Structure 1
């Protein structure tokens, strides 16, 4: 950003330490809510499904639409924030997010819930880029800013892991809509305190927002993911092929347009830097595997082992703690081991943790999940913090804002693709193994007291879960190998030198 408005210029030296950290605490509120809302439905789905009776396709859209719109609009909203002000868009997005939360809490059918989740995704897309951008205004000193970004990353990564825990507590005491309604008082604090504790930040010489690029990016992502989901659920038919091909075509047009624009939504030159590209790949594969692991494990703990939402949530605490702690310490581990080696170790630790779920079965092995998920939490925590750090420090300072927006998009897109691709893979294996076409809940209800049929359905789900988490582990291993063999010593060293200063 080349210039800012008077409010920012007046506070160029940054607020005092006490006011700065008060402002930081306000910025963490939307980060925590957005990341929690990615995973909060994992535990709520069985209860919600029994009440609203969504179809298999509707269940996937309830889970997916929030992440898809969040991923597709992050870069757009980041650009819009430059034009109308980061604080302005943060507060406006909070209001939209709150309205969507209320509508979701009181949804009377799956269609209404999908629409409400879409509105939450639109509002949520304004919160992450604006909150991260405002940190550089609140903490102008490099050392303080580094600490603040580490805390921001810990809340972002930890929020996704702690979402099921909070959701389990709420579901134990209230109805399923409470997992959305809890957002409202938190957002009210942000809306009241934000104008007093957060400075404004606005670039004054940006051109008009390229609406064609916005349409092409959203229009490309949704058909591609829908085509993959439909193929996994219904087979590779004409609908799957046509929608997938349409999405690919629109994404190709999006990329071509970005190459021609002087002020693109996505600066493709960033990917010429191998360190940056590998960091983005690590966040994408990491979030894919984490999303699939969290969702499938939540269903397993409730529908297979028979635990209620709160009891299932307690088993997620070790991973939540590991993600949060190692997110805060990730930068220090990177300095101790070197960025490239730290990435490789973190990705391999996450892969081993995913593979440990092979010890989970219908009749036992839940502690394999606890140990495995805790180990993945260590790996994810380190890797995600390094992604935020490397994405900014591996590029010239004048391109750091675009790099940060791209890394956030990769996190959200990875989560969405994890649910769509690995989740659909688990569903496809479940249906092929059990010889059914419905969901796990549908088949268990139809089986009734038929113990043999119940056992077959449960074994089929566990087989699907094993397949999906194993594929997730393989993706992490491939990403670790790519980081080791293609990571540039020269670029990594330069990035570390910039971070040291």
Structure 2
């Protein structure tokens, strides 16, 4: 394929290019700041939700929107913002997005109601959508030597995946000492550092595209994603209705229209030709399903540790540290793993490890399960670290540097959409099973609400608590089983799609 020949030429040029200097590596350190914030803010609420629920009293639907709206807008706008950055300048949009992100974080920290918090999270999603594609594409410009670029992408991915994994830990520590708004307020000093230091250490790059901007594509993508996810969550929370089904079908139709439009327009937001490369297609599939597993199960196990095992927020946060460390370590070492066993085997093996980790959730019980939780989430963390780093390296290497913003935004869209789908689909599946396990008792929409209702009811309240915990664990097990099955299917498909002869766009290099 043409893309493979182009990539081969890029590999030769990259290997003979000059090595990065100290200033460039300092620039990478600056670029990891927004990556950490954006990925951490997807998961930082997992342990803060009980406190937010107590303070703002959101409905079950509002609670899911507080979690989901950030990831939905992030996913819906990443491709758009990647293209905008290619046109007007990647550093410019990075700094502008950081400012929006910081202001939105302050609004979220002091939100007086669930509605204001949802709106602030939406604004954070808008700002965050500028940060990820611009930072990764700037790496493609700044690091021209293959070995340097492989290491830089590994570090970037380690921070991205590690931020998502460490978010609950940071949230737990902050919640132990401060009020729930502190999980947002911590973003502000980091944004200030980025705004002050970024212009000094990060160079400006732009692709100089002269074609018209695909405004119709932007509208179709957003108009498809939001109603589809709204329909999924609404039917899970409130049951089936013809109106909700029509909304979901309308969203699906608009997404199909978006893909058809991208195939016809001469200046698309989404370059569909990239998906002809099996390594690229397999990589984005791994990004989508991997983050779906990480996002959905992190949320459910966060509730499990606090509300079922009755751990305080700090203890629950510490329990998540082994997985966070595994993700960070194996993200940086993913290139060495791929060099030792091959890209295909590394991808397939990492997905299998993740599936094993998710299957381990089935061993968690109502009365115990902490050590099994730490063991199996660490196994999953190894898989997450390897696969997420390889996804970023393959995607960035699939295109010339001037198109890296648009290409990297595709994988990041899958990362963020996967997180949102994990929360929406797996969270809704667990909620359905939870509500179905009430056995005639008066369950509220969530476990937390049910436990508060039971407080003060005496013996009947104790029975309600016991039944609610069992029903929640059953729901978590069902979600874990579905996740394990999905990851197993992905691993089998990858083993065939990435068979010998399907060369990666970039050969991984040992760092």
Structure 2 length-normalised TM: 0.92
Question: How big is the alpha-carbon RMSD for the aligned residues of Structure 1 and Structure 2?
Answer: 1.8
Instruction: Report which structure shows greater RCO (CA 8 Å, sep ≥6).
Output: 2
Residue 84 of structure 1: how far off its partner (Å): 1.4
User: Per-residue deviation at 1:142?
Assistant: 2.2
Check 1:136–1:240 CA distance in 2 against 1; reply closer, same or farther (3 A cut): same
Q: How far does residue 207 in structure 1 lie from its aligned partner after superposition?
A: 2.1
Secondary structure of residue in 2 paired with 1:388? helix
Q: Give distance in 1, aligned partners of 2:413 and 2:128.
A: 12
Write the mapping of 1:110-189 to structure 2, written as runs, cut at 5 A: 110-189=114-193
1:236 corresponds to: 240
Aligned residue pairs, count:
488
Say if 2:50 is the partner of 1:40: no
Deviations along 1:1-45, one digit per CA (max 9) or x if unpaired, are: xxxxxxxxxxxx989622111111110000000000000000000
Pair 1:480–1:220, CA change in 2 (3 A): same
Unaligned runs of 5+ in 2: 1-16
1:107 to 111, 119, 124: 111
Q: Does residue 445 in structure 1 map to residue 456 in structure 2?
A: no
CA distance change for structure 1 residues 484 and 398 in 2, over 3 Å: closer, same or farther? Answer: farther
Residues 390-429 of structure 1 mapped to structure 2, 5 A cutoff: 390-394=394-398, 400-429=404-433
Does structure 1 residue 63 correspond to structure 2 residue 67? yes
Distance 2:88 2:404 in 1: 20
Q: Note the C-alpha offset of 1:444.
A: 1.1
The runs of 5 or more residues in structure 1 that have no matched partner are 1-12
Once residues 229 and 484 of structure 1 are traced to their aligned partners in structure 2, the CA distance between those partners, rounded to angstroms, is: 33
Is 1:382 the counterpart of 2:386? The answer is yes
Q: Normalized against structure 1, the TM-score is what?
A: 0.94
Residue aligning to 2:505? 495
2:87–2:208 Cα contact (<8 Å) kept: yes
CA distance change for structure 1 residues 81 and 226 in 2, over 3 Å: closer, same or farther?
A: same
* 1:238-296 alpha-carbon deviations (Å, 9 max, x no partner): 13201101101111111111111111000111112222111111111111011111101
- Work out whether residues 275 and 488 of structure 1, in 8 Å CA contact, stay in contact via their aligned partners in 2: no
CA distance change for structure 1 residues 30 and 396 in 2, over 3 Å: closer, same or farther?
closer
Name the stretch that deviates more: 303-312 or 116-125. 303-312
The 1:14/1:36 distance shift into structure 2, 3 A limit, reads farther
Q: 1:314 deviation in Å?
A: 0.4
1:3 is matched with: none
Whole-angstrom distance in 2 between the partners of 1:78 and 1:495? 20
In the alignment, which of 480, 486, 497 is matched to residue 491 of structure 2?
Answer: 480
Pick from 190, 193, 201 the counterpart of residue 194 of structure 2.
190
The answer for the alignment partner of 1:6 in structure 2 is none
Contact 1:15–1:138 (CA<8 Å) still a contact in 2?
no
| Change in CA separation of 1:142 and 1:206 when aligned onto 2, cut-off 3 Å | farther
Alpha-carbon distance change, 205 to 439 in structure 1, aligned in 2, over 3 angstroms: closer
Cα 1:46–1:437 shift into 2, 3 Å:
closer
